[in-house]
Structure 1
């Protein structure tokens, strides 16, 4: 047990602290090149499992938005050769992976009604990548698993009754008390990064709010926010509106620079 605890502490010290684009302290234990490899491998697998949209205009539309956003990324990301793929999938979803990978589902194009709304989603997903949220989540998962193993060992050594029930409770507690709030923090941070990114690229920031209003109209059953990795649409809209004045300033500056995307499907 002592060796396990020592390993956890050593890993935490070796991984060190970093700072996210919004100034949040992060702990990450995986090298960036490894995350890029994992992202590329995952993307290749997705391409073998999901059909790819062949429509030229649709692909050009999505690529146009992606290029405008990528141009505003920090240099090490802007200089990557980003691969952008549109997948035939009815779900209103998109994703980005380390290593310069962006996927957009055709179902999202029915909810994101224009370039500004789609830029909000794509900017959000790219925000996850440049904030290295995947690395953080993998690190957190490793620490949680190690911590639960230590707890289990302590209970075994002390012959604690109802050990299985206690361990199940610890697992749920870790999920609700650590993992889910951690996930919501990432989603909120990606919203803000995406808002700034789309504004700098010349997309109207209000499109982000309109997008979540559209998502809200989709309805459907959602778990209460306390038990969800994603903030509710109302919560997201409130936080986005709180940053809208700054985003509009960035948008006006982009317009003055001549950044006026004309992406049309």
Structure 2
């Protein structure tokens, strides 16, 4: 049974990394970044990372509770969920290189029954996949890893934190900065932030950055970087111009594929090294 469309966030994939939702301890992976995405935006400093991650965790648990009530939350022994969690275990050791706090996040991955072609990773490492993206695109493990790496990259590069900071600064004035730094009505603000996370849209720059960081994460996890191109070709073939939610927040097209193709040679050595290491 699938969740009602109105009950689901606009973007994301989640799956628990261990039975019972236990976190996974990480160790930083060695090696410099091969893709060039530049430094993170300084705007994110206007929003407390800890507060945003706490709000995300609350929203995540509410989503899981809704899915569980409707019988749409995949059990731990679900074959697709087990594949996703195995993928996450291969990617997670490489996340602290992009954000040192990632080694302290309580990463989770869950699978939700829904025909939506969608997935997300909330701040703090809360990942969700919908069955629609796996089934309708018939994703291979390599392609699913590209999706997961992309969504992880949004969290690692703190795109949600940056987007919310810019929204608050533009819509409510920089005076809200004191509240966002934990000096105001924390409870009300946390609820507001959680609500924003469910409708957040990233910029094209954010999406390009997530593509490249996700490409490198997946390559370091021994997933074929060429799958990034086949993924987006499948997406274009299946969705066409139907305006599906995943494409409304993940713009596709020739430029995206060209950017990925240009960066595949930068990470092929990482992929081959990881593959030889087993």
Q: For 1:110-140, what per-residue CA distance to the aligned partner results, in whole angstroms no more than 9, with x for missing partners? A: 2152110000000000000000001000001
Shift in alpha-carbon separation, 1:222–1:234, aligned structure 2, 3 A = farther
Which residue is 2:120 aligned to?
Answer: 95
- The higher relative CO (CA closer than 8 Å, separation ≥ 6) is in 2
Q: Aligned partners of 2:113, 2:125: CA distance in 1, in Å?
A: 20
* Separation of aligned partners in 1, 2:111 and 2:243: 26
**Partner residue, 2:147:** 121
Equivalent residue for 2:231? 211
The alignment partner of 2:223 has SS state of coil
Larger radius of gyration: 1
Are 2:83 and 1:61 equivalent residues in the alignment? yes
Match of 1:220 in 2: 241
In structure 2, the CA distance between the partners of 1:127 and 1:254, relative to structure 1 (3 Å rule), is same
Going from structure 1 to structure 2, the CA distance change for 1:201 and 1:98 (only over 3 Å counts) comes to: same
CA contact (8 A) 1:72 1:78 kept: no
Q: Is the 8 A contact 1:112 1:118 kept in 2?
A: no
Q: CA RMSD in A?
A: 2.4
Instruction: Give the total of aligned pairs.
Output: 204
Give the deviation of 1:232 after TM superposition.
2.3
Say whether residues 1:143 and 2:163 are aligned partners.
Answer: no
CA drift of 1:237 comes to 0.8
Contact 1:117 1:207 in 2 (8 A): yes
DSSP 3-state at the match of 2:94:
coil
Q: Give the whole-Å Cα distance in 2 for the aligned partners of 1:71 and 1:43.
A: 23
Matched with 2:177 is none
Answer yes or no: is 1:80 the counterpart of 2:105: yes
Post-superposition Cα deviations, 1:144-166, rounded to whole Å, max 9, x if no partner, equal 2136xxxxxxxxxxxxxxxxxxx
Runs of 5+ unmatched residues, structure 1: 1-20, 148-178, 260-265
Partner in structure 2 of residue 17 of structure 1: none
Q: Residues 220, 246 of structure 1: CA spacing in aligned structure 2 closer, same or farther, 3 A cutoff? A: same
**Per-residue deviation, 1:77:** 1.3
- Structure number with the higher helix fraction is 1
Change (3 A) 1:103 1:25: closer
Task: State TM-score, norm by structure 2.
Answer: 0.68
The Cα of 1:63 is off from its aligned counterpart by 0.6
Kindly state the Cα deviation for residue 233 of structure 1 after the two structures are TM-superposed. Answer: 2.9
Q: Displacement, 1:71? A: 1.8
Farther off after superposition, 29-38 or 114-123: 29-38
Unaligned runs of 5+ in 2: 1-35, 174-199
Mark the CA change 1:214 to 1:96 in structure 2 (over 3 Å): closer, same or farther. same
Q: 1:229 Cα shift?
A: 5.0
